[in-house]
Amino acid sequence: MKKKKWTLYSVAVAAVTVVVVTAYSQENVKSVQDSAFKTKMRPNAVFLHDEHNEKAEIDDCGTCHHVYKDGVKVEDETSEDMECSECHKINGDPVPLVTKYHLRCKGCHEEKKAGPVMCGECHVR
C-alpha cells in the first residue's frame, strides 16, 4: 500500500513539475499571465509568443523583457524568466501593473500602427 501511495505521489510531483516548466517556457505561451492578478477584470490577453515575435520581427528578447537600473535600460540584459510584477510591484492596487502592461503592449501597437489596441481584441471572452 505504501509503495502505491509513493508511486502516486511521485507521478503527481512529476506532473506538476512538467506543468510549471511548460508554463514558464516562452515558446508555449498562449496568453499573458501574471500571478499578481488575483482577481481578473477581464480574461488573460491572448498572446502567442513565437507567432507574435515572428510577425513583429522581434529578435531581441529585451525589446519586451527589459531591465532597468537607476532609470536606465540595461543593454544585453533581459527579464525573460520573470513575471512583470517582480519588478513592477502592485502593493495592493493592480492598476499600475495593468498600466505597465498596456504601455508596453498597446503602446508598441499604436507606435507601429499594427496589432490590437481595443480591450476585446486582446482580452477575448
CATH number at 93 reads 3.90.10.10
Query: pTM above 0.85?
Result: no
Residue 76 vs residues 61, 62, 63, 64: alpha-carbon distances, Å: 9, 7, 10, 12
End-to-end CA distance of the chain: 46
Tens of pLDDT, residues 2-47: 666 665 655 555 544 444 444 444 556 798 889 988 888 899 999 9
pLDDT of residue 40: 86
Structural domain containing residue 111: 2-122
- Cβ contact 74:87 at 8 Å: no
Number of domains making up the chain = 1
The predicted-structure confidence for 98-117, as pLDDT tens digits, reads as follows: 898 999 999 999 999 999 99
Q: What percent of the chain has pLDDT over 90?
A: 51
**Cα–Cα separations (whole angstroms), residue 46 to 74, 79, 87, 89:** 28, 20, 22, 23
d(CA 123, CA 47): 10
Q: For 60-84, how does the pLDDT look when each residue is reduced to its tens digit (9 = 90+)?
A: 999 999 999 999 999 999 999 999 9
From CA 74, how far away is CA 55, in angstroms rounded? 25
